[in-house]
Structure 1
Amino acid sequence: MINIDKTPVPQGKYLAAVRHANIVYTSGMTPRKAGKLMYTGKIKTTDTLESHRDAAELAVLNALGAAQNCLIAGERISVVLQMSVFLNAEENFTKHAKLADFASEILISFLGIKSIGTRAAIGVASLPSNAPIEITLVCKVD
């Protein structure tokens, strides 16, 4: 699952990412390929974390791709200043941080260990199209 789609398809009237000076903000990215949601459903307390790894990785790859689409030749993302991970989880689910680690690991593999900034892992009652995860990034460009 190491392919980055630099043109994720917005599901509404918004941009996938926008740049202001040397900061890129991404919209919420769900685990989609070519606009098609690949994973759906609520994250259950009885699920193994591993069963949601691919969804987390795909969502963060979409966010990273959207951010990279805002770069010009010779630029790179140096730091993810903030990553927000929204989880469509059952009320008693408590492993938000561990599930968000899958997304952090992908960012580290592409950008390096020093690329990781702050992060929030947030449980929500629902997400668009019943996606299990949605991820936003705020990135610094060098």
Structure 2
Amino acid sequence: MAEVIEARLKELGITLPIAAAPAANYLPYVITGNLLFISGQLPNENGKVAVTGLVGRDVDVATATRAAELCAINILAQAKAALGGDLGRVKQVVKLSSFIASAPDFVEQHVVTNGASNLIANVLGEAGKHARAAVGMAALPLNASVEIEAIIEITA
């Protein structure tokens, strides 16, 4: 299965970055039993936050959707690191929780979150289909426009 996932990544033109180290006193992921919890991932690209500002004021929906895709790429990078390089151990993405830094009148958080949901499903197939939440926030760390965390069921 890992080969299929790697082929999908290549087909989609995605190169997973090296998983980012935590920026404070937390773990980038925790495995307990058969669950992998991945800490919130920002839309980092080339070592920095690529999309900043409030969606609906500073950032349009298309750019915010790309930010959500970057968060999903970083989730996959963390999962790969947590699983010793073997994304084939992903049994099911259980849930994504998406936080969107939003202008007060912005109500399309779900549309932005589709960027992450679609990318995860395209890479992992059926195992990538998940429950989710898409929540508007007043602000996020480092002025990021999007932050997404994940819960993933894994095999031993």
Question: How high is the TM-score relative to the length of structure 2?
Answer: 0.82
SS across alignment from 2:112: helix
Q: Secondary structure at the match of 2:41?
A: coil
Out of 14, 18, 26, which is 1:2 matched to? 14
Aligned counterpart in structure 2 of residue 101 of structure 1, from 96, 114, 131: 114
Kept in 2, the 8 Å contact 1:32–1:58? The answer is yes
Structure 1 residue runs without a partner (length 5+): none
Alignment of 1:1-142 (within 5 A): 2-44=14-56, 48-72=60-84, 75-142=88-155
Larger relative helix fraction: 2
Secondary structure of 2:96's partner? strand
Q: Distance in 2 between matches of 1:111 and 1:56?
A: 16
CA distance in 1, matches of 2:73, 2:134: 17
Residues 92-101 or 3-12, more deviating: 3-12
Question: Which residue identity is paired with 1:29?
Answer: Q
Describe the superposition over 1:82-132 as per-residue Cα deviations: whole angstroms up to 9, x where unpaired: 100000001111111111111001101110034212100000110001000
Is the deviation greater in 131-140 or in 1-10?
1-10
The alignment-based identity, stated in percent, is: 29
Distance 1:73 1:85, change over 3 A: closer
Distance 1:56 1:138 in 2: 16
Backbone CA RMSD of aligned residues: 1.9
73 and 126 in structure 1: CA distance in 2 versus 1, 3 angstrom threshold? closer
Of the structure 1 ranges 1-10 and 110-119, higher mean CA displacement relative to structure 2 is found in 1-10
The letter of the residue matching 1:123 is: G
Decide whether aligned partners of structure 1 residues 46 and 37 sit closer, same or farther in structure 2, where only a CA change above 3 A counts.
closer
